[in-house]
Amino acid sequence: MQTLRSVSVASLAQVFRLSTRRKSTGGRPSAPLGSRILTDADDIFKHNTWDHVQWTEEDKENARQKTQENSSVQIPLKEQGKFDTEADRYWDKFYEIHQNKFFKDRKWLILEFPELLPPDRKSQVSTRRRVDPQTEILPTGSSISQHPETRHHSHSDVTPHHRHISDYQACPGGSLEQNEDVVQTSTFPGQHASFRILEVGCGAGNSVFPIVNSIKETDGFLYCCDFSSRAIQMVKTHPDYDDSVCHSFVHDVREEAASFPFPPQSLDVILAVFVLSSIHPERLQGVVNRLSTYLKHGGIFLFRDYGRYDLSQLRFKKGRCLSEHFYTRGDGTCVYFFTKDEVHDLFSNAGLEEVQNLEDRRLKVNRGKKITMHRVWMQSKYRKPHPPPSS
């Protein structure tokens, strides 16, 4: 990557233009997505990460060229299928090797996504300082672009659903409604809770335990699933695992026939952090459509994942590309890199309404080697609308 010593002061002023909506702060940045703003190019190596970094046209063109180069040689079609059909095996192997030491606990999670807290706990967020969100992988950082802060803290006041999944029937368009002719009820994990969260692709629990520790002694309940049985075993054996507030289970969200241990329209929040990118892009719309049927009206889908031209995309070598902006790593796990428009289409096509859709651009700094690295992530929130009032 290019060092800043070779860049003129004038160029630095262009690269690090400030958001007119943000001010520099002396303490830790405030949510969402940070406000550590570089106001003086001479300060570049004073911190490891700078927020709201805009790219020059040169930056964008360099990224496009690197992506075009590393995707010019694709894995043959006859060899691609295994990365989809055997994905659980690759992730099992990943957790066998790395255990729970590869990712950091997401201590930033509640401050970026206060919607994860039951309504009676949200007021606590405003009194706490923010911890910088960091990437999933320990050695890396991130980048961010300027956007106005958009917060919606309200949650559905819909009465919790205590009916069995058979009490609902599919309607035209794929939506679900209560079948008034069925009165059968059934118990399910977390039935007692009035506020329910599902984390999809929970891995070793780096989101699970920050959430569990935040909803204890509330009326909240967390479901968490992963298609790696090894990952779920790690969650269940964690010392902070508490089955009175959490239910973990093996589940492949790509499978259309796979059922959840709770009924449709029973969740207040669905969380997907660095998981949808691992799914083949042709499957993504169906996955989001199916997951969205489990949200209550007024419930919210929280999303964080890799953005287009992130450093990790540019670092891929030739021969690792499966399809456009979709790659497989050396260990067989896969990753897709999203744009804002793609994220919006993905969730709006599932019938959800945009609350927040941000491009998280940051400048990660290696102060020892005096080099800079661009990180790009997406952070979004989409709500399931209430049905129109009947006439």
CATH of the domain at 33: 3.40.50.150
* Residues linked to residue 371 through DSSP beta bridges, in sequence order: 366
* Residues linked to residue 361 through DSSP beta bridges, in sequence order: 143, 376
Give the other-Cβ count within 10 Å of 180's Cβ. 8
Q: Residues 6 or more apart from 294 whose CB is under 8 A from it? A: 198, 260, 262, 263, 264, 265, 266, 267, 270
Range of 12's domain?
A: 4-383
- Asked if residue 148 is part of any domain, the answer here is yes
- Asked if residue 271 is part of any domain, the answer here is yes
- Asked if residue 388 is part of any domain, the answer here is no
- Asked if residue 307 is part of any domain, the answer here is yes
231 contacts 249 by C-beta, under 8 angstroms:
no
- Asked if residue 154 is part of any domain, the answer here is yes
- Asked if residue 327 is part of any domain, the answer here is yes
- Asked if residue 292 is part of any domain, the answer here is yes
Is the pTM higher than 0.85? The answer reads no
How many Å apart are CA 17 and CA 20, to the nearest integer?
9
- Asked if residue 390 is part of any domain, the answer here is no
Residues lower than pLDDT 70 in the chain? 1-31, 91, 98-105, 122-185, 391
Domain count, the chain: 1
